[in-house]
C-alpha cells in the first residue's frame, strides 16, 4: 500500500502575524509547510518554533526570489501544491494619509512588495505548482484587503489601498492565465486583524483572520477561481 505524501504549502512573510498563524494551522492539519521570510534569523526562529521548514525570501527583491526558487528545488524538490502570497507592508504613515499629498515613492514602495512581489514569486514558483501531485487542486492565494476593494474605496491609506486593488487585478489576470492549467487563484480579505499591521484595536484575532485563508487552502472547491473572498464567501471587487 502506498501512502499519499502531504500537500506542500509555501507561505511568504510568515515569521509573524497572519502568515505565522496560517503556517501553524496548516502544519496542525498535516500539510508540509515551508515558512518563508526576508529576515533569516526571525524566519528560522519562527520555523523552528513550529517545527516546519524555512526558506529565505524577500518578495521585494527579484534576485532573492530567483535564489529562493532555486534553493526550494534543491531543498524540497520540484513540487508545490499551494502558494500563499501573504507578505505585505502598509507604508502609509497613517490611515488618514491623503492621495492629494502622497508621494510617488510611497506608491512604488507599496506596489513593489504588495503587487509585483506576488507576481514575481508566482512566476518563479509556477513550474513547481504545475508539478503539483494533483494539478487540478493547485492553489494560489493572494492576501488582499477590504482597503483594496474598488467598489467601497475611500480616500484613506492610498499607497496600501492602490497596491491591494492592483493585487486584485493581478489575481484576475493570474486566474484567467492559469485556467487551462487548472490552477485556481483567489484573493482574500482577512478582515481587520490584531497583528503588528492591524494594531491591537482591530476586530479579529489572528485565528479568526486566518480562517478564510485556511479555507481557501484546504476546503474551498477547486473550481473556485478569480474570486475575492471574505468570511469564506465571495465579495465584490
Ligand atoms: N492585519 C490586518 O488587519 C490585515 C487586513 C487586511 C489584509 N492584511 C494583509 O495580510 C497580510 C499579512 O499581514 P499581517 O497583518 O500579518 O502583517 P504583519 O504582522 O505586519 O506581518 C507582515 C509580514 O510580511 C513580511 N514582509 C514584509 N515585507 C516583506 C518582504 N519584502 N519580503 C518578505 N516578507 C515581507 C513581514 O516580515 P518582517 O518581520 O521582516 O517585517 C511580516 O512577516 C498582508 O499582506 C496584509 O496586507 C492584513
- How many C-beta atoms surround the C-beta of residue 78 within 10 A? 11
What are residue 193's DSSP bridge partners?
Answer: 204
129 within 8 A of 144, measured Cβ to Cβ = no
172-187 pLDDT, tens digit each:
999 999 999 989 999 9
Q: Which domains does the chain have, with CATH numbers?
A: 8-235 (3.40.50.720)
Closest residue CA from atom 32 of ligand 1: 58
Ligand 1 atom at minimum distance from 144 CA: 7
C-alpha cell at 130: 504545475
Q: Which of 12, 25, 35, 38 to mutate to test the pocket of ligand 1 (most atoms within 8 A of CB)?
A: 38
63-112 pLDDT, tens digit each:
999 999 999 999 999 999 999 999 999 999 865 678 999 999 999 999 99
Ligand 1 pocket check for 13: Cβ under 6 Å? yes
Ranges of residues in the chain whose predicted pLDDT is under 50 = 1
Measuring CA to CA, how many Å separate 73 from each of 129, 137, 188? 12, 20, 28
Q: Is 0.75 topped by the overall pTM?
A: yes
Amino acid at each position: 500500500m502506498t501512502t499519499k505524501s502531504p500537500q506542500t504549502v509555501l507561505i511568504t512573510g510568515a515569521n509573524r502575524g497572519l502568515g505565522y498563524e496560517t503556517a501553524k494551522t496548516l502544519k496542525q492539519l498535516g500539510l508540509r509547510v515551508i515558512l518563508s521570510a526576508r529576515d533569516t534569523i526571525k524566519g528560522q526562529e519562527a520555523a523552528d518554533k513550529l517545527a516546519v521548514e524555512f526558506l529565505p525570501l524577500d518578495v521585494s527583491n527579484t534576485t532573492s526570489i530567483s535564489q529562493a526558487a532555486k534553493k526550494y528545488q534543491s531543498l524540497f524538490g520540484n513540487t508545490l501544491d499551494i502558494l500563499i502570497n501573504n507578505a505585505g507592508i502598509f507604508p502609509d504613515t497613517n490611515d488618514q494619509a491623503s492621495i492629494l499629498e502622497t508621494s510617488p515613492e510611497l506608491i512604488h514602495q507599496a506596489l513593489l512588495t504588495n503587487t509585483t512581489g506576488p507576481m514575481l514569486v508566482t512566476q518563479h514558483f509556477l513550474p513547481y505548482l504545475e508539478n503539483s501531485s494533483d494539478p487540478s487542486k493547485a492553489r494560489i492565494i493572494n492576501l488582499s484587503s477590504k482597503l483594496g476593494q474598488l467598489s467601497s474605496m475611500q480616500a484613506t491609506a492610498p499607497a496600501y489601498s492602490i497596491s491591494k486593488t492592483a493585487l486584485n487585478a493581478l489575481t484576475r489576470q493570474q486566474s484567467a492565465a492559469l485556467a487551462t492549467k487548472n490552477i485556481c487563484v483567489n484573493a482574500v480579505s482577512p478582515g481587520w486583524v490584531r497583528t503588528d499591521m492591524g494594531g491591537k484595536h482591530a476586530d479579529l484575532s489572528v485565528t479568526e483572520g486566518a480562517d478564510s485563508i485556511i479555507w481557501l487552502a484546504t476546503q474551498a472547491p477547486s473550481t473556485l477561481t478569480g474570486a475575492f473572498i471574505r468570511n469564506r464567501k465571495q465579495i465584490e471587487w
